[in-house]
């Protein structure tokens, strides 16, 4: 049972999309459970909990992509391969951990060409999101049209101004009338407005005040913004039933919070009668376009019975949420995002003594160490020399000649220095042939091939210090630690070290790229996939180099077979 659970966890975590869905499920379930536990608390508190959950759902995808991964090792059964739920989505979603456990050299079944089921699922997700966002966009357009076609109610504006001042609202809230609206509605963010049915002019004074107090509480709380954002989040997670349940509960708690504001200045029975009358109006207008819009009226006819029961419940606590509960809900949401988003489940490395049949998966590494030198060149009079090329310089490291792979000319602005300072310099870059990170000093000498180059100012050397831990291995910093393959593993006979991308070099970006490769029966590295992405063009450089590697293939029963292997490519600037 436990190995099966671990397998599911690894399969989910191997795909960023599947991991986000799993984390969203946990966050939504926790919010619904918290709201249920707080059933005797204020409706505003429950609304804050649910709103915080939608904030988590909104932040999870972004945080999961940008947050540095925190890997948790999970035991995996031997010879178990973990297929990512969205492994076929190249470029859109890149797993940040290896998509399989290091459990042995495995024969690879050739993959068929065409779209994978996972790619089709991801495309369906995007299409569903667009489809479910369409009613939101149409609803916003309908609200805008309805507000513009509604006419201002001059006699009701002084009443709204007075009630808004009592509610603590310092900005102007416009009140309008529209004949097609079945019930009161609030809309707008910067310039909020309350739109009432046209017959509101004939309502009794107390009924009108209760309706306006309810809608003004929506304005004070900013329910229009949270309502629209939560509805957009539902469109993104359109396939998730818990998200829609949370959405329904969020809308209900918003209405109950505003009902509590009304009960602070009105008798419960009278307000319950008014809600029943509103339910009757909504039933009669159920087929109107305004009643069908998902954004026009936050009052749901199906929830009015629950609201009436809550209004008449004398044991129910009422009032605003207060600063402390809202702050705690926001803090809890922040903690959830920060703790859940970077989590990645990876397969724990199997011990060789656990099962004599288990053979470690072939593991190889490549190291790109780019040394950058800034060189200022001047003549015998101390004047900087411009217009030189890479062929005008010679570079040695510890006495060994180096090939200049990067050459740039930089001209300084006149305001950046004094009259006697340098006005330009050259950037020379070479890939050192010494991959050992031993901490020793390496002496650099740069010479000019022209007699006019009298003086060269540059860094005289560097210490090859360890700058980051090796991904997927233990031990020797950034040194080349390709394993010596055993009799069941392909032997690496030619290795091309990758080069830095120009974008990553200029950004002074370094790190490591993890690759999953298939060594075919011909000894070529094929089906190269990124299992640990670095970005800025370094993933592509690593793939380009590894595809040029050549192996002596694995032999099985006297015949060469394809096997899976792991490759780590380290990029460093020295």
The pLDDT score that the predictor gives to residue 325 is: 86
Read off the pLDDT band of 87 (50, 70, 90).
very low
d(CA 427, CA 408): 5
Rounded percentage of the chain residues whose pLDDT exceeds 70: 76
Instruction: State the DSSP code for 104.
Output: -
**CA-based angle 261:262:266, to the nearest 5?**
130
pLDDT digits (tens, 9 = 90+) for 214-271: 999 999 998 888 888 999 999 999 999 999 999 999 999 998 999 899 888 888 888 8
Identify the three-state secondary structure at position 43.
helix
d(CA 537, CA 525): 20
Mean pLDDT over each residue of the chain, to the nearest integer: 77
Q: In terms of Cα–Cα distance, which of 449, 442, 456, 460 is closest to 375?
A: 456
So where are the chain's domains?
137-299, 367-463, 491-573
Give the C-alpha distances (Å, rounded to integers) separating 536 from 97, 501, 540, 541: 18, 7, 9, 10
Locate the DSSP E strands across 15-130.
Answer: 70-74
Using an 8 Å Cβ cutoff, are 257 and 214 in contact?
A: no
pLDDT digits (tens, 9 = 90+) for 264-322: 888 888 888 888 887 777 776 655 554 445 444 445 556 777 888 888 888 888 888 88
Phi, psi of 62 (to 5 degrees): -65, -50
Q: In terms of Cα–Cα distance, which of 138, 192, 120, 139 is closest to 161?
A: 192
Read off the pLDDT band of 351 (50, 70, 90).
very low
d(CA 258, CA 255): 5
d(CA 145, CA 147): 6
d(CA 362, CA 234): 44
The pLDDT score that the predictor gives to residue 301 is: 59
Tokens of 448: 């000019």
Identify the three-state secondary structure at position 219.
helix
Query: Which has more confidence, 159 or 482?
Result: 159
The pLDDT score that the predictor gives to residue 352 is: 42
CA dihedral 5, 8, 14, 19 (to 10 degrees): -90
Tokens of 381: 């009079």
Tokens of 64: 């999961």
Arithmetic mean of pLDDT, 554-561: 82
Phi, psi of 201 (to 5 degrees): -65, -25
Locate the DSSP E strands across 64-184.
Answer: 70-74, 151-152, 174-178
d(CA 12, CA 17): 8
Q: Is pLDDT at 499 greater than 90 in this prediction?
A: no
Question: Tokens 């909990």 map to which residue?
Answer: 49
d(CA 527, CA 368): 22
Residue 322: alpha-carbon gap to chain centroid: 31
Q: Does 491-573 match 367-463 at the fold level?
A: no
Helices (H), 437-547: 502-506, 538-546
Instruction: Report strand pairing: 511-519 vs 563-573.
Output: antiparallel
d(CA 357, CA 12): 27
Q: Is the pTM of this model over 0.85?
A: no
Instruction: Report strand pairing: 424-431 vs 363-378.
Output: antiparallel
Q: Is pLDDT at 114 greater than 80 in this prediction?
A: no
Q: Is pLDDT at 109 greater than 80 in this prediction?
A: no
Arithmetic mean of pLDDT, 374-381: 86
* CATH number, domain 491-573: 3.30.2420.10
Q: In terms of Cα–Cα distance, which of 553, 546, 549 is closest to 491?
A: 553
Question: Tokens 């603590």 map to which residue?
Answer: 168
Count CB atoms within 10 A of the CB of residue 289.
Answer: 11
Count CB atoms within 10 A of the CB of residue 559.
Answer: 9
Arithmetic mean of pLDDT, 63-73: 73
Identify the three-state secondary structure at position 447.
strand
Question: Tokens 């180096």 map to which residue?
Answer: 402
Give the C-alpha distances (Å, rounded to integers) separating 406 from 112, 427, 541: 41, 7, 16
Q: In terms of Cα–Cα distance, which of 182, 199, 218, 200 is closest to 296?
A: 182
Q: In terms of Cα–Cα distance, which of 341, 405, 409 is closest to 375?
A: 409
Which CATH topology does 367-463 take? Immunoglobulin-like (2.60.40)
Arithmetic mean of pLDDT, 93-106: 36
Using an 8 Å Cβ cutoff, are 209 and 262 in contact?
A: no
**CA-based angle 233:236:242, to the nearest 5?**
70
Q: Is pLDDT at 101 greater than 50 in this prediction?
A: no
Identify the three-state secondary structure at position 310.
helix
d(CA 573, CA 369): 6
Question: Tokens 């094929």 map to which residue?
Answer: 526
Burial class of residue 484, CB neighbours in 10 A (0-12, 13-18, 19+): exposed
Q: Is pLDDT at 9 greater than 50 in this prediction?
A: yes
């Amino acid at each position: 049972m436990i190995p099966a659970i671990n397998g599911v966890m690894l399969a989910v975590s191997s795909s960023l999309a599947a991991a986000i869905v799993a984390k969203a499920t946990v966050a939504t379930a926790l919010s619904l459970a918290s709201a249920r536990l707080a059933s005797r608390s204020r409706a505003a508190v429950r609304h804050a909990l649910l709103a915080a959950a939608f904030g988590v759902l909104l932040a999870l995808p972004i945080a999961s992509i940008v947050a540095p991964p925190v890997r948790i090792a999970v035991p995996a059964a031997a010879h178990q391969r973990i297929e990512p739920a969205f492994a076929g989505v190249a470029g859109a979603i890149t797993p940040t951990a290896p998509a399989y456990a290091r459990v042995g050299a495995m024969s690879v079944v050739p993959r068929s060409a065409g779209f994978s089921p996972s790619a089709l699922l991801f495309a369906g997700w995007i299409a569903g999101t667009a489809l479910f966002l369409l009613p939101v966009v149409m609803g916003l357009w309908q609200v805008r049209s309805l507000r513009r076609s509604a006419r201002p109610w001059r006699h009701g504006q002084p009443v709204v101004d007075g009630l808004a001042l009592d509610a603590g609202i310092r900005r102007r809230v416009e009140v309008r009338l529209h004949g097609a609206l079945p019930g009161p509605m609030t809309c707008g963010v910067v310039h909020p407005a309350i739109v009432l049915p046209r017959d509101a002019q004939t309502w009794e004074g107390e009924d009108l005040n209760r309706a306006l107090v309810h809608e003004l509480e929506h304005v004070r709380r900013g329910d229009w913004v949270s309502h629209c954002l939560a509805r957009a989040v539902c469109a993104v997670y359109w396939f998730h039933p818990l998200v829609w349940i949370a959405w329904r509960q969020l809308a209900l708690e918003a209405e109950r919070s505003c009902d509590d504001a009304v009960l602070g200045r009105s008798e419960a029975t009278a307000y319950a009668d008014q809600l029943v009358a509103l339910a009757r109006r909504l039933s009669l207008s159920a087929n109107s376009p305004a009643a069908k819009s998902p954004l026009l009226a936050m009052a749901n006819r199906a929830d009015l019975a629950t609201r009436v029961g809550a209004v008449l419940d004398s044991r129910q606590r009422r009032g605003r949420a207060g600063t402390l509960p809202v702050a705690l809900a926001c803090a809890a949401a922040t903690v959830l995002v920060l703790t859940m988003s970077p989590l990645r489940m990876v397969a724990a490395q199997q011990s060789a003594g656990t099962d004599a049949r288990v053979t470690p998966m072939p593991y190889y590494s490549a190291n790109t160490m780019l040394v950058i030198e800034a060189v200022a060149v001047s003549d015998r009079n101390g004047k900087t020399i411009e217009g030189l090329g890479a062929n005008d310089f010679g570079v040695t490291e510890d006495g060994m000649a180096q090939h200049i792979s990067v050459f740039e000319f930089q001209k300084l602005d006149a305001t950046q220095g004094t009259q006697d300072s340098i006005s330009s310099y050259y950037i020379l870059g070479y890939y050192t042939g010494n991959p050992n990170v031993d901490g020793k000093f390496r002496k650099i000498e740069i010479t000019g091939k022209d007699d006019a180059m009298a003086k060269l100012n540059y860094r005289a050397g560097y210490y090859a210090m360890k700058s980051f831990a090796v991904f997927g291995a233990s031990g020797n910093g950034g040194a080349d630690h390709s394993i010596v393959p055993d009799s069941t593993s392909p032997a690496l006979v030619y290795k091309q070290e990758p080069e830095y991308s120009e974008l990553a070099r200029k950004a002074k970006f370094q790190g490591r790229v993890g690759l999953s490769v298939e060594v075919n029966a011909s000894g070529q590295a094929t089906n190269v996939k990124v299992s640990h992405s670095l970005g800025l063009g370094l993933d592509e450089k690593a793939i380009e180099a590894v595809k040029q590697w050549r192996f002596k293939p694995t032999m099985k029963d006297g015949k060469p077979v394809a096997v899976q292997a792991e490759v780590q490519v380290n990029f460093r600037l020295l």
